[in-house]
Structure 1
Amino acid sequence: MPILTLRNARPTDAARCFAIETGAYEGDEAATLEKIATRIRLYPEGFLILEADAEVVGFINGGCAHDVVMSDEAFKELVGHSAEAPNVVIMSVVVDPAHQGKGYSTTLMNAFVQRMQALEKKTIHLMCKDRHVPLYQRMGYRYVQPSASDHGGMAWHEMVMDL
């Protein structure tokens, strides 16, 4: 069993996170290196890294908003982000394809939820593909609606968890 460690991201993690994101996501779905670096710099409390035996194998990141508009593409660069806002928007939950199927995404999600609760956030929002809706429902998210976003040229669904 590998030793798992959870920690907040550091600027030096950006390149590894970009490699994981581009390896795991389809087409234009992956964030750019610049977006990842911006998310780490502007809100490291919302960028959680998972290490297995000291190797970065996955991460989850998000930003906070007073009014959540899931189709807002600028928010992916944390334009409009306010660390004090009560609502969290998850932008990526991703595990290196070589480490998928080990429960790491659930580990990341559970730890992220606990950290956001400790920060006294009120809701966590995310968008997912159709095939992931049941997974997030099992984690406690409720379905909101099909999203107006066509990020990466794909269809998305909006979900929310009340904390």
Structure 2
Amino acid sequence: MSNQNFRNASPTDATRCFEIETLAYDGDEAATHEKISKRIVEYPQGFLILEVDNQIVGFINSGCAYDVEMSDEDFKELIGHDPDAPNVVIMSVVVDPAHQGLGLSTALMSEFVKRMTDAKKETIHLMCKEHHVPLYEKFGYRYTQPSASDHGGVRWHEMMMDLRRD
């Protein structure tokens, strides 16, 4: 792939990230512009941008918690987020549909995991649709349980990666 760059988001990225979010997620599954903006401002070190040829083509955003409750809708607003907490909760993993199928989600996830490991985080949690479970298992996540969340009217599944080294 041509010129790839990873960086943390800045407030000026919110509009492009919102565009990608609404292209990649159906209806109510997509975060609002307001939520994306808040996530960038409140936890930029957990909002990783992937650029290709100086254009934003994907991102991962997250928050941190001491006690992870994946079905907590308030957490999507970063209520209860503590940047010092050891557990990372991913809220979106998104690649612009025009750039999918090029290995960018793998590159994005690998960089995110490296950064969270370097930040001494202990676990990463996420929710995904059933058809994405095998993809996240390839990334090193393990299936934990069906989620109580019905965000966007969809059935979600909880996954977790342990970053602690024995």
TM-score for the superposition, normalised by structure 2: 0.97
Match status 1:154 vs 2:154 = yes
Work out whether 1:9 is the aligned partner of 2:12.
no
Q: Structure 1: which 4+ aligned runs deviate by more than 6 Å?
A: none
**Separation in 1, partners of 2:94, 2:55:** 14
Alignment of 1:45-56 (within 5 A): 45-56=45-56
Structure 1 gaps of 5+ residues are none
Cα offset, 1:27, TM superposition: 1.7
Q: Share of identical aligned residues, percent?
A: 71
Q: Secondary structure at the match of 1:149?
A: coil
The 3-state SS of whatever aligns with 1:60 is strand
Q: How does 1:95-134 map to 2 (within 5 A)?
A: 95-134=95-134
SS for the counterpart of 1:92 is: strand
Aligned residues: 163
| Counterpart in the other structure of 1:70 | 70
CA RMSD in angstroms, aligned pairs only: 0.5
CA distance in 2, matches of 1:110, 1:72: 26
Aligned counterparts of 1:49 and 1:136: Cα–Cα separation in 2:
19
Equivalent position amino acid for 1:35 in 2: K
- Structure 1 residues 57-92: Cα deviation after superposition (integer angstroms, max 9, x where no partner): 000010000000000001001110000000000000
CA–CA distance in 2 between the matches of 1:97 and 1:143? 25
Aligned-residue offset at 1:23: 0.7
Q: CA deviation at 1:115?
A: 0.3
Name the counterpart of 2:37.
Answer: 37
Aligned-residue offset at 1:101:
0.6
Q: C-alpha distance in 1, partners of 2:48/2:139?
A: 18
Question: 2:143 matched to which residue of 1?
Answer: 143
Other-structure match for 1:60: 60
Instruction: Write out per-residue CA displacement over residues 15-56 of structure 1, whole angstroms, 9 at most, x where no aligned residue.
Output: 000000001111210000000000000000000000000000
SS in 2 for 1:71: coil
- Could you list the runs of 5+ residues in structure 2 that have no partner in the other structure? none
Q: 2:90, 2:69 → 1: CA distance? A: 12
Q: Which residue identity is paired with 2:131?
A: R
